[in-house]
Structure 1
Amino acid sequence: MILQATFLFISGAEIAFILFIVIMVFGADKLPEIARGLGKGMRTLKDATNDIKHEITKTAEKNGIDTSITKDVKKELDKVKDDLDDFTGSVKRKF
């Protein structure tokens, strides 16, 4: 069974219709301003999220909480990947 990925369960035709309505309501000359405002808002949200993550990590390290678990997991995954590459190296098909 093949599942089609959709963005927020909206098809392409519905997105086109929404864009048409937005252009009709705000006008084509206002769209760049709206897009710029949305971009700035998303950038601010991303920066705030990164600041919060940084503060949580700094506080955890200050209180002696081990934050290196992701590094350990990545190291283990890399080792498994290297072992798998070594094992399948001679079996891989050349295209």
Structure 2
Amino acid sequence: MRNLQGWEIFVLLAVVVLLFGAKRLPDTARGLGRSLRIFKAETKGLREDDAKDATKDTTVTTAAAEPVVVEPRPIESGVAQAPAAGAHAVHRDAADR
């Protein structure tokens, strides 16, 4: 791609001013700058997380899970209600672990 000459840059700026208006350009530029700053910070954070994960010990230890006991809720106003998601307790034998 070739380099833009001075008069081409001037024409592009004139088109941008006509499209957005001179009053909205500073706000638009400020919003774009903030967005780029946030994007840069997030990508930096992802890179740091990847670097931490690469240096972390990869051995995995598992803990024995205790069964969760959920007590049933009382039925209100005589209308039967469906149990809430995850309301039933799960019991696993030691052989299933």
Q: Could you state the TM-score of these two structures normalised by the residue count of structure 2? A: 0.52
Q: Does 1:39 align with 2:33?
A: yes
Per-residue deviation, 1:46: 0.5
Greater relative contact order structure (CA < 8 Å, 6+ sep): 2
* Count of residue pairs the alignment pairs up: 58
Two-structure CA RMSD over aligned residues (Å): 2.2
2:51 to 28, 39, 57: 57
Distance 2:5 2:40 in 1: 27
Structure in which a larger fraction of residues adopt helix: 1
Structure number with greater Rg is: 2
- Consecutive unaligned residues of structure 2, counting only runs of 5 or more, are 59-97
Structure 1 unaligned regions, length at least 5: 1-5, 65-95
- Give % identity: 36
Ranges of 4+ aligned residues in structure 1 off by more than 3 Å:
none
